[in-house]
Amino acid sequence: MSQPLTPPKMKSMKAQGSPIAMVTAYDYPSARLAEEAGVDVLLVGDSLGNVVLGYETTVPVTLEDMIYHTRAVVRGAPRTMIVTDMPFATYRGSKEQTLRNAARLMQEGGAHAVKLEGGAELGDEIALLVSAGIPVIGHLGLTPQSVLQIGGYKVQGRDEAEAARLLADAKALEQAGAVAVVLELVVEPAAAAVSRALSIPTIGIGAGRGCDGQVLVYHDLIRYGSGIRDKRFVKPYADVGETIRSAVSQYVSEVKNGRFPEESHAFQTQAQPQEKPTTKLYGGDPK
Ligand SMILES: Nc1nc(=O)c2c([nH]1)NC[C@@H]1CN(c3ccc(C(=O)N[C@@H](CCC(=O)O)C(=O)O)cc3)CN21
Ligand SMILES: CC(C)C(=O)C(=O)O
Ligand SMILES: [Mg+2]
């Protein structure tokens, strides 16, 4: 991809039946690799609280955390559309504060769009952000920022009433000007019905095959982390956690048994031919 995706382009992808591939990212190297891999959209998710910062939930994640990680992701993926989650309690209560917080994610963080968890009750907030020129993505179904209220991570839309409310909320988000809606942990028929009823794309996570796009948490997708539990909706495409554990463990043994470093890793008084000149580069290590 040469230029970041735009909201109109996302909508035309839906119209053409071309699935949108989204993944989270939280730092420079992961963003860079995802851009090289051709993802359409990167989400700086507040799931960084769980997978990067080690919190139990996304509730402790701050606006400063989101700005900091967004900046790193933007540096790693300058040609990819970057969406940043507005974290817990930063988009309710005061309109002024909601706009200021979203603006900081865009101006200081460099995000191209923001994502908010919630339904029809957010109509005014979304309309305000849209009027300021901010692309807004909604998030329905399981909304992890309310986990302490909900009492767990549960599949949504199982009964008729829940499915109807999901559809009404999705329509309200579209009406308010949202450019896409994430559907999390929603039963497949309900997510498919919402996807058919909207002209803006739905991006599913644990929402089955009927959505217009998919999103997964980076660390789940590559099994990066200790004790990453394979959830039903995740397909792990690599086992990076095991790769890292094994590499670091080999390093530790080689240091302890004296096999590392070797002569080839050492510098002598006279420069040797294989030594590389030192380079000063911005934007990460030389490749
Ligand atoms: N690593 C990670 N991946 C995520 O997808 C994710 C996060 N963290 N943190 C924020 C939210 C929380 N999410 C979660 C957390 C747990 C389940 C879970 O336990 N799912 C069960 C199904 C539950 C049920 O049957 O009702 C599963 O086995 O998939 C799902 C989504 C999604 N998000
Ligand atoms: C799971 C996705 C949709 C998300 O909101 C996050 O990563 O925080
Ligand atoms: Mg999130």
Ramachandran area for residue 57 (φ above 0: left; ψ -120 to 50: alpha; else beta):
beta
> Is 217 a pocket residue for ligand 1 (Cβ < 6 Å)?
yes
Tokens 């908010």 correspond to what residue? 116
Q: Pick the residue with more confidence: 178 or 283? A: 178
> Is 167 a pocket residue for ligand 2 (Cβ < 6 Å)?
no
Q: Are 186 and 166 in contact (CB under 8 A)?
A: yes
Which two three-digit tokens encode residue 220?
Answer: 């789940």
pLDDT, one tens digit per residue, over 127-174 is 999 999 999 999 999 999 999 999 999 999 999 999 999 999 999 999
Per-residue pLDDT band for 278 (boundaries 50, 70, 90) equals low
pLDDT at 286 over 80: no
Q: In the chain, how many domains are there? A: 1
pLDDT at 281 over 90: no
The phi and psi torsions of 12 (rounded to 5 degrees) equal -70, -30
- 274 within domain boundaries: no
Closest residue (by CA) to atom 24 of ligand 1? 154
Q: For residue 79, what is the domain's CATH number?
A: 3.20.20.60
Closest residue (by CA) to atom 17 of ligand 1? 153
- 258 within domain boundaries: no
Q: Are 238 and 44 in contact (CB under 8 A)?
A: no
What is the sign of the dihedral through the CA atoms of 156, 52, 38 and 173?
Answer: positive
Domain of 122 in residue numbering reads as 7-221
Cα of 3 vs centre of ligand 3, distance in Å, is 25
- 262 within domain boundaries: no
**Ligand 1 atom nearest 58 alpha carbon:** 10
Closest residue (by CA) to atom 33 of ligand 1? 47
- 236 within domain boundaries: no
Q: Is the complex ipTM more than 0.90?
A: yes
> Is 47 a pocket residue for ligand 1 (Cβ < 6 Å)?
yes
pLDDT, one tens digit per residue, over 24-63 is 999 999 999 999 999 999 999 999 999 999 999 999 999 9
What pLDDT is attached to residue 274? 73
- CA neighbor of 210 nearest in space, from 157, 284, 287: 157
Q: Is 160 among the residues known to form the active site?
A: no
Cα of 39 vs centre of ligand 1, distance in Å, is 22
- Count of other CB atoms within 10 angstroms of residue 165: 17
Residues 6+ away with beta carbon under 8 Å from 231: 206, 220
pLDDT at 282 over 70: no
Mutation probe of ligand 2 site: the residue of 184, 216, 218, 224 with most atoms within 8 A of C-beta: 184
**Radius of gyration over alpha carbons of the chain, in Å?**
21
